[in-house]
Structure 1
Amino acid sequence: MTPYDIIIIGSGPGGYSAAVRAAQLGYRTAIVEKYASLGGTCTNVGCIPSKALLDATENYHSVHTKFSAQGIEIKNLTLNFSQLMEHKKGVVRQNLSGLKYLMKKNKIEVIRGTATFVNSREIRVEHESTANIYSARHFIIATGSKPATIPGVTIDKKRIITSTEALSLPEKPGSMVIIGGGVIGVEMASIYARIGVQVTILEYMDSLIPAMDHDLGRELKRIFQKEGIRVLLKKRVTSVSASGEKVTVHFDSDQEDPDQVTADYCLVATGRKPYTEGLGLENTAIQLDERGRIQTNEKLQTREPHIYAIGDVIAGPMLAHKAEEDAVFGVETIHGQQPHLNYHLVPGVVYTWPEVAGVGYTEEQLKAKGIAYNVGKFPFSASGRARAAIDTQGFTKVLTDPKYGEVLGVHIIGARAADLIAQAVIGLHYEITDEDMFRISYAHPTYSETLKEAYLISSGQGAINI
């Protein structure tokens, strides 16, 4: 068989983006996927279905919390949980259809099965009762990640579950305890608390979403508690036991809190780990680091220079858009181009409501590095647009250099933060100043004006608008 130019292993956001870019550049490209559907975790059991449920449940929640104040009265409101899940499935199907179209349009061959490196130049792909050998000039490993757990907790996928199962529960539960207050944990908490599920979050660190600026975590905790979500911080889970239709989570506690929580389900949201099992890496020179990630150089090459690795399987933030950036970077590097990649400028987003987003340095990171900074912080409650929409929770916070005004970090918790953060990414990418950012024109009234006001404050001037 004539070897391919590039074979990509894994069809998540990193994998399919790499395949499309490779095909666009004229390479004979194939993508290997062991599951029935393309798209990986993100499309099937991650980003896409969770956002479908987050948007739908926020609509339901808004009816209860906003509509009457706006003069909209709805009687006998009910939630059709089965239809909620069908909506999610429909959104996933639409995205899968789009991926199939992309593969066909770009003449990318889809190879079904599980890939294992026989040596550094060939892979064996097993599918059902058949096995075939494929070779390529270049390989890109894009196998992603899978849910991680902690000592004392065994996931049974029935009552002790991951986000995969939580996105497809057969019926609405009465209660749920979530281990982990990171991105996955707080998003799943939002989905279920909005529809009346009693939710408890147990977080080991002293803040929700601990990887982000801690002001964001503190504000999100306040909002969650106001919405009836129980948040317990600095709690170390020791064991989880299931009995019938209930599950009990035990954790280290103090005198103020009990040392266990019982609920219908326990969702384990303690992060994800790289998926490298069964790849046959031992048949190559590829090495893993202490966290099980594939080691790469600055060009995303492994110890085998013609084999690249991208996305969750290597160092860096485990984000779909980061994987996509890796993908394009890797393929264009193969093509002889010199693309640019800076993980410091990859934004993080949490799709609760209000949304949470951040890019650049956090205040904690600047303090740890001894870097001087100014803070500009403007509340959404002072925004005319936010008041009109009854979306007054949260704030925009910018961190800038005191001497030159360069924007060092931007952190937002508020309505449409996921969209607003794009402007901040541009500012950091081009190393521009807070004055540059506040002197451009912002439409009024918009949520984006909270950025303008925060830049004004960080530069030493006061806010000028509402």
Structure 2
Amino acid sequence: DGKRLGGLCLFEGCVPSKALLHAAALIDQAGGAAELGIEFGPPRVSLDLLRKWVSERVVGRLARGLAAAARAKGVEVVGGRAVFEGPRQLRVEGDEPQKIRFAHALVATGSAPLPLAGSPPARERVMDPSAALALPEVPERLLVVGGGYVGLEIGTVYAAIGSAVTLVETTDDLLPGVDRDLVQPLARRVGSRFAAVHLGTRVGELVERDGRVEARLGGAAPQPFDRVLVAEGRRARSDGIGLETTAVRTDERGAIAVDDRCRTDESRIYAVGDVTGEPMLAHRAMRQGVVAAEAIAGRPAAFDNMAVPAVVFTDPEIAWCGLGEREAGRAGRPVRVAKVPWAASGRAATLGRADGLTKLVLDPESGRVLGVGIVGPGAGELIAEGTLAVEAALTAEDLAATVHAHPTRSETLMEAAAAFLRGR
């Protein structure tokens, strides 16, 4: 739609959310500096300046860079909404309607947030993640529906800038599916910063009354909130683009089926990113885009990556890749797990953050690294080494024999590998 280059991640997702999480971290660090003998006054947050910084200095700068790159590479940008009219043609709707015939097409329409199941929206006070990241105000009381990474990240931002945040998750755990020892440090910190966390709880109908939204949490009496954020997942955006005129196949959640070359059932149409389903991660989409481009160019290519890392940019951060400990247990696969608490890390001590953990999931016989999990500040940067280890089929001996700089948190990967070797 339109001529704006860049997708959900840049304009409404990971980039603005991480910019706001950086601001939240500054507030938190200033508040904790008194332990070091450094005192600051209470923070004063200007939403206008914060919005401007995110939109102009962060998102705007990256968007301008994309546009410049497209011009430099001779990419023709057509503004409008594209709808397929068959396997070789589409029409563009908008101010400059036209029809385009193509040799190959690539669908990268992304995803859209799911509404709260069983409850109609209560107008503007019920926000999806994109609306919440626009920072319409600092609500006195914010209800976050969903204990996945989106709800936790945005809830962290609003808690830092002054909202009393109540989080509700229908399952019994935050970040369902992630190993519990990775989630526990985050759960403790969230418990101390949010007003309340309700697990195993469903949200009933949302009713807007007297400028607030009343929500029933489980079987309790309705509670008033100034705003509600619904973060219960996303659905592929494949409706309304004419796929029914092609052989492209979608599932019940709208995700387009593709092979390992990112090709759909229509041989001339490819698809990448969120529209192809889980995991809905920008870095997966980028890799898929490279594979699709190479396949269209006739080169040998396949999306056959063994590990796609995932990161939750809360405080502390959580990152993982490859086989998780719980996943191995469910599959009945024998593994050995090596852990290093960050209480033993000199670098973590200098940062005043010993509440981290590094773990390796390994094949018990060969010592091959099957999965890596990290929780702690900077986990998102540290997971790259773990992803390489899984992708390249490295062993514990490879990691243990690699010299890591001291003092750094990356040493904990080396130390976990050494712990595995000592326990053989």
Please indicate the TM-score interval, normalised by the length of the shorter structure.
over 0.9
Say if 1:240 and 1:249, in contact at 8 Å, map to a contact too: yes
TM-score normalized by the length of structure 1:
0.87
Residue number among 317, 342, 365 corresponding to 1:355 in the alignment: 317
Q: Aligned-pair RMSD on alpha carbons?
A: 1.7
Alignment partner of 1:252 is 2:218 = yes
Deviation at 1:170, TM superposition (A): 2.7
Question: In the alignment, which residue of structure 2 is the partner of 1:302?
Answer: 264
Partner of 2:27: 60
Quote the Cα distance in structure 2 between the aligned partners of 1:144 and 1:413. Answer: 29
Post-superposition CA distance 1:406-447 (Å, at most 9, x none): 111111110110010000011001111112111111111111
Residues 103 and 228 of structure 1: CA distance in aligned 2, closer, same or farther (over 3 Å): same
Match of 1:92 in 2: 59
Letter in 1 for 2:414: K
Opposite residue 62 of structure 2, the aligned amino acid is N
Quote how far apart the aligned CAs of 1:383 are.
1.2
Change (3 A) 1:414 1:55: same
Find the counterpart in structure 2 of residue 198 from structure 1: 164
Paired position in structure 2 for 1:447: 409
Shift of 1:259: 5.3
In the alignment, the residues of structure 1 paired with residue 51 and residue 417 of structure 2 have an alpha-carbon distance, to the nearest angstrom, of: 42
C-alpha distance after superposition, 1:256-314 (max 9, x if no partner): xx354431111000011000121011111112112221122222211210101111111
Matches within 5 A, 1:312-351: 312-342=274-304, 344-351=306-313
| Letter matched to residue 235 of structure 1 | T
SS of the equivalent of 2:390 reads helix
Judged with a 3 Å threshold, the aligned counterparts in structure 2 of structure 1 residues 244 and 41 are, in CA distance, closer, same or farther, namely farther
Which stretches of structure 1, 4 residues or more, deviate above 6 A after TM superposition?
none
Q: Deviations over 1:112-166 (max 9, x none)?
A: 00000111111100113x3100011000000000101232233356111101110
Match of 2:81 in 1: 114
Unaligned runs of 5+ in 1: 1-33
The structural deviation recorded for 1:62 is 0.8
Question: Counterpart in 1 of 2:101?
Answer: 135
* Matched position secondary structure for 2:78: strand
* One-letter amino acid of the counterpart of residue 121, structure 2: I
Please state how far the C-alpha of 1:186 moved relative to its aligned partner: 0.6
- Retained in 1: the 8 A contact 2:186–2:315? no
Change (3 A) 1:432 1:294: same
In the alignment, which residue of structure 2 is the partner of 1:293? 255
2:196 aligns to what? 230
Say yes or no: does 1:81 pair with 2:47: yes
Aligned twin of 1:26: none
Mapped contact 1:397–1:411 kept (Cα < 8 A):
yes
Distance verdict in 2 for CA 1:319–1:259, change over 3 Å: farther
Residue 456 of structure 1 is matched in structure 2 by 418
Matched, 1:437 2:399: yes
Q: Deviations over 1:217-269 (max 9, x none)?
A: 2332112112245221111223222223211222335xxxx354431111000
Partner of 1:146: helix, strand, or coil? strand
Kept in 1, the 8 Å contact 2:84–2:245? The answer is yes
Determine if contact 1:177/1:199 at 8 Å carries over to the other structure.
Answer: yes
Which letter maps to 2:24? T
Gaps of 5+ in 2: none
**Letter of the 2:421 counterpart:** S
Q: Give the direction of change, closer, same or farther, for the CA distance of 1:115–1:381 in structure 2 (3 Å limit).
A: same
**1: CA distance, partners of 2:42 / 2:331:** 56
Cα distance between partner residues in 1 of 2:139 and 2:37: 32
TM-score by length of 2: 0.96
Relative to 1, partners in 2 of residues 1:204 and 1:77: Cα closer, same or farther, differing over 3 Å? closer
Contact 1:415 1:447 in 2 (8 A): no
Matched, 1:102 2:64: no
